[in-house]
Structure 1
Amino acid sequence: MRPADLAREHGISTQAIRNYERDGCLPAAERTPTGYRIYTGLHAAALRAFLALVPAFGRATAGAVMTAVHADRLDDALTELDRGHAQLLRDRETLATVREAVGHLTGGTAAGTGLPAPPGPRSVGEVAHRLGVTPATLRAWEAAGIITPDRDRTTGHRRYLPADVRDAELAHLLRRGGYLLDHIATVLRQIRAAGGTGEPAAALDGWQQRLTARGLAMLTASARLDDYLTLRSEPPRRA
């Protein structure tokens, strides 16, 4: 096979094929005496696996999985996949909690009764650690009107009350779903006001669909990777 033969199936460029090989996402190709690359069915299977892994786990994880496989570090590759599945489960659990929180808020109960937030005020660093983001990210969300922590009158430091932590949790979820900051700010304003339920419900339904799509993509990626690993383990055929 030529690079164009592999590229044609997926509608990508031949340069992309060469880049994937250079980065270790494809096994190294043999060369003709004149220096042309020779690709085989094994490379085609590797490319299908890699391109299926990208929408399921992200480009970085897909590359890490394939390079680990090609370095004969199968357990490292499987660990990368495990992390992706664990993140999907965490997102599902967080979404379920957020739905419950939105239900409480839009049902007229007091703010802060949805997400389990720690009691008492928390610092920006503590909330950042809780979410796995940087303090700078939280300050950017504050500048966008997404979260509105007050300030300690003595020190001037930000204080995150349980309702503020709840808002930060909601913002984090929606950000992971790909929503822009101004959209998230609109959703959070509606939730804080316990107003119309349409916008929050639509945002959460959209994220639910994304989680379902990612889960299905993971199934496809696992099948493609299994095909490649099986082909890779077969002894080479003799002419």
Structure 2
Amino acid sequence: MSEYLKPSEIADELGISTSSLRHYESWGAVPAPDRGSNGYRLYTQVHLAYFRCLRAMFPGFGVGVTCDVLRSIQQGDVDTAFWMVNKIQAELYQEKQAADQTLGLLQEIELPSLPHQKLKSRMTIGEAAKYAGVAASAIRHWEKEGLLQSERHPENGYRLFTPADIRKILLIRTLRSTVYFLKSMKEIIHALDRQHVEQAKKLTEDAIRTIHERIRHQFTGVHQLVQLCQLLELI
């Protein structure tokens, strides 16, 4: 192989078009190559390593983070790049924990018993909030979002929550801080509304499989990132 690589050679190896290479370059994710006397780009093995890394990181980290990481690498700031990667992996770990807790709640027939807190057949919003460990204002917000629909006391109109409602509140509390589950939370909760617990379990299990796929993609991307840094003698 010659000292320089043709755009078509890199594109063929990565299974993409040469226009994609130009897009990645315009994003600042790959160093601008030198130009020949004819104006053609003169890519090197370093450029190939950047392109490989970028393509490997996209599925696990997304376009935005990947480009930010590679811009930091170009500046020689490997620590910032690695911490950005670590942050995304930590967020995925939180989602995995939430998914596991959700599946556990769906598989448990009985709600967890909590010290000094008794589960009643009908609970006020204050009692429900205390049992679930959330603010009453949060429960009201989730009702407005269409995630909950409580009964009303026939005389005073106050909200009344059943054990089934408490289970939903516990699920929402578990899922609310995750990025992925915010997209499918309503599906899971509405499946419970229709008494389709098995469907809610399947949705959660599908989400867990997606999380497993993403962690594998992330480590594939990290592997290419480390190889790029070694080539650049940054580590």
TM normalised by structure 2 equals 0.73
1:71 maps to 2:75: yes
Could you tell me how far 1:75 is from its partner in structure 2?
Answer: 1.1
Kept after mapping to 1: 8 A contact 2:175/2:182: no
Alignment length (residue pairs): 206
SS at match of 2:137: coil
Aligned counterparts, 1:53-92, within 5 A:
53-92=57-96
- Decide whether aligned partners of structure 1 residues 186 and 71 sit closer, same or farther in structure 2, where only a CA change above 3 A counts: closer
Higher relative contact order (CA 8 A, sep 6+): 2
Structure 1: tracts of 5 or more residues without a match: 129-137, 152-157, 235-239
Aligned: 1:39 with 2:37: no
Cα 1:92–1:82 change in 2 (3 A) is same
**Alignment partner of 1:209: what SS?**
helix
CA contact (8 A) 2:6 2:43 kept: yes
Provide the C-alpha distance between the structure 2 equivalents of 1:7 and 1:147, rounded to a whole number of angstroms.
50
- C-alpha contact (below 8 Å) 1:7/1:14 kept by paired residues: yes
Contact 1:2 1:37 in 2 (8 A): yes
Gaps of 5+ in 2: 112-118, 153-158
SS at match of 2:136: coil
CA-to-partner distance for each residue in 1:140-163, whole Å, 9 max, x for gaps? x42xxx343789xxxxxx9x9966
Task: Supply the RMSD in Å over aligned alpha carbons.
Answer: 3.6
**What is the CA-CA distance between 1:214 and the residue it aligns to?**
1.1
The alignment partner of 1:122 has SS state of helix
Would the aligned equivalents of 1:3 and 1:18 in 2 still touch at CA under 8 Å? Answer: no
Aligned pair 1:188/2:206, yes or no?
Answer: no
1:222 matched residue in structure 2: 222
Over residues 157-210 of structure 1, what are the superposed CA-to-partner deviations in whole Å (9 max), with x where a residue is unaligned?
Answer: x9x996664353466589715956xxx5453133246x3432112111111111
Q: Deviations over 1:82-113 (max 9, x none)?
A: 10111111111111211122123xx1547999
Q: 1:232 to 1:186 in 2, by over 3 A?
A: closer
Q: Are residues 43 and 149 of structure 1, via their aligned partners in 2, closer, same or farther at CA, if it must alter by over 3 Å? A: farther
**Which residue pairs with 2:16 in the alignment?**
12
Q: What is the CA–CA distance in structure 2 between the aligned matches of 1:98 and 1:232, rounded to whole Å? A: 43
The residue that corresponds to 2:133 in the other structure is 118
Identity of aligned residues (%): 19
Counterpart CA distance in 1 for 2:199 and 2:50 is 42
Structure 2 match to 1:135: none
**1:87-236 correspondence runs (5 A):** 87-104=91-108, 107-109=109-111, 117-119=132-134, 121-123=136-138, 141-142=145-146, 146-148=147-149, 165-169=169-173, 172=176, 176=180, 185-192=186-193, 195-233=195-233
- What residue number does 1:155 align with? none
In structure 1, how many angstroms separate the alpha carbons of the residues matched to 2:148 and 2:203?
17
Q: Which residue of 1 aligns with 2:56?
A: 52
Normalization by structure 1: what TM-score?
Answer: 0.71
Deviation, 1:2, is 1.9
